[in-house]
Structure formats: C-alpha cells, structure tokens
Amino acid sequence: MQYEYSLWRREVETELLPTLRMLGIAMVPWSPLTGNTDPLGADDFRRNNPRYSGGNLVTNRDRFAPLLEMARELGVTPVQLSLAWLLHQGPDIIPIPGTRRPERVDENAKASTVTLDRSLLEKIDRIARPGLAEGATLL
C-alpha cells in the first residue's frame, strides 16, 4: 500500500501500519524525504503542501533542526538519515524517494548502508515524534 510516511508524517504508526502488518501488507511510503527544504525552488511541488508553505515551513525546519545536526554527526546527508530511519522501521517498509537528478539516486542508495542503533532510533523518536509537524498533508 502506498501512503505518505516520513519523519514529518508518522501518524500511520497509530492505526494504519499495525493493520497493514496484521494483514501481511507492505507499505510503500511516498514523500519519504525530509530535511532538504532550503531553498524550495519556484517549481518545487512541495510548495503546494501545507507543511512546506508559509509559516509552517519555518516552524517545521526549526522543530526538526536537531535531525540535521544528527546527520552531520553521523557523516550522512539529511536525506540519507530520513531514508535510513524508514528502512529501520521494518522489512515491510519500502520507500520510494523521487529524484530529479542522477546524483541523488546514488545519495539515496547509500542510505541503505547507514546503521542506526537502538540509541539513535530512540533519539530520533524523541526529536521527530508523531504529530510534531505543522500543517495538513496532501492526500
């Protein structure tokens, strides 16, 4: 099943993801990348998403800024941290990051080599708890 799931959108963990797992259905998260928000180009599709527009973008950047620092400390990009976190959520989570540039494909693929131990995953959970992001999402 495709559904939005990312560090900025974790509400699926409450009911949808447990139901999918009970039924043996994998999730294919769309819009899995967070962290790469500055600046948004004039043609960036995220400008239509309330989480990335107006004051919500500024609020969300501030709230999730500790993840940028964590990525720097780990020597990975924020995108790689976001994808690595998703990959650590279980073998039934298969993210589909979109990209417009070939070099981003390599960056995304390297996320599969990032290991997040229990301590790091708990820290991420404290920083990016479900419901933290401001703004509605596009359905």
C-alpha torsion sign, points 79, 139, 38, 133? negative
Residue type, 53: S
pTM of the model: 0.88
Beta-bridge partners for 29: 3
Sequence-distant (≥ 6) Cβ neighbours of residue 136 within 8 angstroms: 50, 51
For the chain, give every domain's residue range.
Answer: 2-34+57-127
Q: What pLDDT sits at residue 18? A: 98
Average pLDDT of adjacent 10-residue blocks, the chain of 139 residues: 92 96 96 67 74 81 92 95 96 89 90 96 95 78
Domain 2-34+57-127 falls under CATH 3.20.20.100: yes
Q: What pLDDT sits at residue 72? A: 96
Give 85: exposed, middle or buried? Use CB within 10 Å, 0-12, 13-18, 19+. Answer: buried
